[in-house]
Structure 1
Amino acid sequence: MARICVFCASSTRVDQRWLDLATETGKELAARGHTLVSGGGKVGMMGTVAAGARAGGAYTLGIMPQVLVDWEVADMDSDEMIVTEGMSARKDLMLEQSDAFLTLPGGLGTLDELFEVWTTATLALHTKPIVVLDPDGFYTGLFGWLAGLTDDAFIRREALTMVTVAGSVPAAFDSIEAALDHP
């Protein structure tokens, strides 16, 4: 059983298909016996992943800064909620508490979290698996742009190999589990 941190949108205006993907992710995480580590929100895809995970019997750990708790967006149904002083402390604790990272579609906050764990991996500060769930080519443009940066030596080619891109929820969890079984 692994502690898998899921990064995704907290927007309340995302299409239903992304909420369905979040539900599927939470249920698959639970079915495989993992623990969910999340940003602790009850809204958008973040809340939907947590609800799906709990519906399947998974333990859920939310990590949220006090300012967002004050905005009343905290998932108080989490099995455990850790409140931090700020966003940086939140990301540090999510990195510390997790065995692997799974990024679903999202916006700036999701990208910030993905790049945080990816950058720290390139600096050899951790060797935890990082998987991006890319249904329907959501992240194709981003990865194309990043690949182009290797031509100008802004990114080392080996950095791109530190992230696995998966096209489906089962494939994403298969990748995480394979990486955890054979580090």
Structure 2
Amino acid sequence: MTAKRPRLLFRGLHALIWHTDDPNRKALERYLSRLGLTFQVRCCEEPATTDENHDLLFFDGDSDLPLTDCPPKVPRIAVVGSEAPSRLEWLLNQDPSSLLVKPIRPAGIYAAIAFAFSNFARRASLERDLGRLEAKVRYRRLVVFAVLRLMRETGCSEDEAFALLRRKAMEEQTTIEALSGQLVARSETTRTAS
């Protein structure tokens, strides 16, 4: 499977800039306009919540912004001026996808956006994979119960029971875990009925 190519064209995307009204924000606005992004601006004193959908969030990393109110499912770019350890710790806890260093210059903004989208997509993919693997681990116990049940019913070995379970799952076009859950549920129903 080939990896999805990162997004490198940003024209038409909508960004939220949550930053103090200063030259850094003005420079960011100018460059985003040149890239073809539309944006909405919020001062740090204003809440960032809005009804509009945003594709990207720029936030002032030097202000203690309540980022829990921000659109959560978009790449976040921190605009950083201070490198104090406590400030960097706060920033890391906000889970930014990329960062820009103050004073903002045109060089670096495009790269920060590209890295933000790439890192955000990679992180989302890892979270999906982790969720799928955690579900498999939860269902592993059901697979063991199903294999033991097949061993008991057919008198076959563990390997033969697992091969039988795998073949049946392929015939029914389902996962081994789902089929195991069905077998265990049927045996529980049978046991409670008798």
TM-score (norm 2): 0.33
Higher normalized contact order (CA 8 Å, seq sep 6+, divided by chain length): 1
Larger radius of gyration: 2
Provide the TM-score with structure 1 as the length reference: 0.34
Q: Which structure dedicates a bigger proportion of its chain to strand?
A: 1
